[in-house]
Amino acid sequence: MSRIGKKPVAIPGGVTATIDNGTLSVKGPKGTLTMGLSDLIDYKVEEAEILVKPANDSKQARAFWGMQRTLVSNLVEGVSAGFTKVLVIKGVGYRANAQGSTLKLQLGYSHDVDLPVPAGLEVKTPDQTTIEISGTDKQAVGQFAAEIRRWRKPEPYKGKGIAYKGEFIFRKEGKKR
């Protein structure tokens, strides 16, 4: 039995949710997000909450239950508050600069890395070693942050590279004589 699935998703003020033709559409101050609905799950929109329950007692329906509730919750949170990921760059000469719809990274390679910012996301660089990615879609924000981090993962000896803010980097001791 899903513990998270039992909780209804609260709809904050200024956010509306509707179900048509197998899609859930959530509209709020930050925009509109839609999600395809599973046939194994029953969705019910009430005045201040969305209820998610399995349509039958099958094992697959019970397995989908908690995840579908979390996806609905992410839609509501995305259009009301949005999501943000912060990346921190450590290393001599490593820098980032957001220029319009392009993120320019200098990561010790012989060339600069230019990454196009996906539609619906906003990238800010408050200083040269911090990248803030924000948007309404949690999956898109996390995916773009992972793509940036992939260019130079933190290494365990000096800790150089691109890490999430607050991420613990396991450090190793260097070679001994």
Domain definitions of the chain by residue range: 3-80, 83-164
For the chain, give the DSSP string. Answer: --HHHHSPEE--TT-EEEEETTEEEEEETTEEEEEEPPTTEEEEE-SSEEEEEESSS-HHHHHHHHHHHHHHHHHHHHHHT-EEEEEEEESTT-EEEEETTEEEEE-SSSS-EEEEPPTTEEEE-SSTTEEEEEES-HHHHHHHHHHHHHTSPPPTTT--EEEETT-----------
User: Is-same-fold flag (3-80; 83-164)?
Assistant: yes
Task: Give per-residue pLDDT as tens, 19-49.
Answer: 999 999 999 999 999 999 999 999 999 989 9
Residue 176 pLDDT class (50, 70, 90 cuts): confident
Q: Look up the CATH number of domain 3-80.
A: 3.90.930.12
pLDDT of the residue at 147? 97
pLDDT at 177 over 90: no
pLDDT of the residue at 94? 96
Task: Give per-residue pLDDT as tens, 5-20.
Answer: 899 999 998 999 999 9
Mean pLDDT of 53-79: 93
pLDDT of the residue at 93? 93
Mean pLDDT of 62-91: 94
Task: Give per-residue pLDDT as tens, 77-134.
Answer: 999 999 999 999 999 999 999 998 999 999 999 999 999 999 999 999 999 999 999 9
pTM, two decimals, is: 0.90
Q: Hey, which CATH number is domain 83-164, 3.40.718.10, 2.60.40.10, 2.60.120.380, 3.90.930.12? A: 3.90.930.12
